[in-house]
Amino acid sequence: MPKSILRLGTRGSPLALAQASIVREALSRLDIGCELVPVKTSGDRIQDRPLAAVGGKGLFTKELEDALLRNDIDMAVHSMKDVPVVLPPGLEIAALLPREDIRDAFVSHHGACLADLASGARVGTSSVRRQAQVARARADLEIVSLRGNVDTRLAKLDCGEVDAVILAFAGLKRLGIESRATSVLPLAEWPPALSQGAIGIEMRSNSEHASVVRNLNDGTAAICLTCERAFQAALDGSCMSPIAGFAQFVGGILRMRGEVIAPDGSGAAEVTLERVLSGDASSEAAALGMEAGLKLKPRAEQWLAR
């Protein structure tokens, strides 16, 4: 029987609840029980406009963080790609779970990959990064801004509203519907959003439970996300900026690859740096990400929307 029952704040979508269940299961191994507390965020409420048109930061996190600061919940679970690089004072990401597959998935009834689609086919995605990547790969396709939960977007594909959709493969896997992926897009050509595939647990820094929850922190995920979030901070881009990238940590070597793509797919600026981590891994990872971002920024300034 768990010794503690904590309130775990989560968005109410099926994917968010699936991720919260993963966190709850991990916490149960620490003898901590959880009560799921659904919280509706601005990003959930605004469904009639593309996120890029809404603007602002923390569209999927602010209400959860406000609930934390009011002590309405004890923890919040996030998709880390939605979390701004600067957290409110008094809050911290106490733990990152082992990262899921970071790649994007192509889903269609009209071919195995983007190249198979007919000219003029409609591809649905609300991500400015994915829109730029589709435009770069196939300028002859029509890009349709598609909001909603994973099930909603797949339903629009199934009813013929669009001919293909591009989604995070991690989301399909966590929902148990990875078989819906027609193909998984290669990282070399389709780098993901920064922090894609990572689940984070946010808490008040002074929480009596934070020290226990920190035991869930996955070292490799923490190093890679520290690097990616430093890269994001250096670029100072917004949700309207088509930024892609990922860090990989293998054999003591951390490699950061990132790019900014012209919204119409007509160009891109890319950077790749690597470093052997030999001391304070977190500080060295942050330094590498910052260096990569600052190196890329002058060549990408024209595409970094504010």
Last residue of a domain, one of 162, 184, 206: 184
Is residue 239 scored above 70 in pLDDT?
A: no
Asked whether residue 190 is domain-assigned, the answer is no
State whether 224 and 297 are in the same domain: yes
Residues above pLDDT 70, as percent of the chain? 93
Q: Mean pLDDT, to the nearest integer, of 255-264?
A: 97
Let me know whether 92 and 161 are in one domain: no
pLDDT recorded at residue 45? 67
**54 pLDDT above the threshold of 70:** no
| DSSP-derived pairing of the beta strands 164-168 and 104-108 | antiparallel
Q: Which of 31, 66, 72, 82 is catalytic?
A: 82
pLDDT of residue 237 exceeding 90, the answer is: no
Measured between alpha carbons, how far is residue 243 from residues 9, 225, 236, 260 in Å? 28, 15, 10, 5
The mean pLDDT value of the chain amounts to 93
Cβ(182)–Cβ(116) under 8 Å?
no
The terminus-to-terminus CA distance of the chain in angstroms comes to 50
Residue 52 confidence (pLDDT): 60
What confidence tier does 50 reach under pLDDT thresholds 50, 70, 90? low
Task: Dump pLDDT digits (tens) for 172-201.
Answer: 999 999 999 999 999 999 999 999 999 999
* Whether residue 204 sits in one domain with residue 73: yes
Active-site residue flag, 82: yes
Q: What is the CATH number of the domain that holds 128?
A: 3.40.190.10
Domain count of the fold of the chain: 3
Nearest alpha-carbon partner for 202 in 25, 14, 18, 23 = 23
| DSSP string covering the chain | --SEEEEEEE-SSHHHHHHHHHHHHHHHTTTEEEEEEE---HHHH--SS-HHHH--S-TTTHHHHHHHHTTS-SEEEEEGGGS-SSPPTTEEEEEEPPP----EEEEESS-SSGGGSPTT-EEE---HHHHHHHHHH-TTSEEE---S-HHHHHHHHHTTS-SEEEEEHHHHHHTT-GGG-SEE--TTTS---TTTT-EEEEEETT-TTHHHHGGG--HHHHHHHHHHHHHHHHHT--TTS-EEEEEEEETTEEEEEEEEE-TTSS-EEEEEEEEE--S-HHHHHHHHHHHHHHHHHHHHGGG---
> Are 212 and 228 found together in one domain?
no
CATH number, domain containing residue 290 = 3.30.160.40
Q: Classify residue 191: in a domain, yes or no.
A: no
Please check whether residues 120 and 35 belong to one and the same domain. Answer: no
Q: Looking at the structure, tell me whether residues 154 and 82 fall in a common domain.
A: no
Residue range of the domain that includes 299:
218-306
pTM, two decimal places: 0.94
d(C-alpha 158, C-alpha 168), whole Å: 18
Position 110 scores a pLDDT of 96
pLDDT at position 152: 94
What's the rounded mean pLDDT across residues 81-110? Answer: 97
Q: Reply yes or no on whether the pLDDT at 294 is more than 90.
A: yes
Cα 244 from chain centre: 10
Q: What is the pLDDT of residue 47?
A: 62
Q: Residue 51 domain-assigned?
A: yes
Residues 155 and 94 occupy one common structural domain: no
Report the range of poorest mean pLDDT among 43-47, 86-90, 202-206, 213-217.
43-47
Same structural domain, 256 and 239: yes
pLDDT attached to residue 55: 60
pLDDT tens profile 25-35: 999 999 999 99
Question: Does 108 lie in the same domain as 92?
Answer: no
* Whether 91 and 209 share a structural domain: yes
38 belongs to a structural domain: yes
* Separation between Cα atoms, residue 265 and residue 214, nearest integer Å: 41
Residue 189: inside a domain: no
Residue 61 lies in a domain: yes
pLDDT at 53 over 90: no
> Which pLDDT belongs to residue 261?
97
Please give the Cα distance from 196 to 217 (Å, whole number).
Answer: 17
Question: Contact at 8 Å (CB) between 264 and 76?
Answer: no
Residue 76 lies in a domain: yes
Residues 222 and 212 in one domain: no
pLDDT for position 60: 80
Q: Is the per-residue pLDDT at 220 higher than 60?
A: yes
Residues 78 and 204 in one domain: yes
Q: Which amino acid is at 229?
A: R
Angle between helices 14-28 and 150-158 (to 10 degrees): 140
Cβ neighbourhood burial of 102 (10 Å; 0-12, 13-18, 19+): buried
- Angstrom CA distances, 103 to 12, 42, 86, 128, 196, stand at 24, 26, 25, 16, 8
Residue 24 lies in a domain: yes
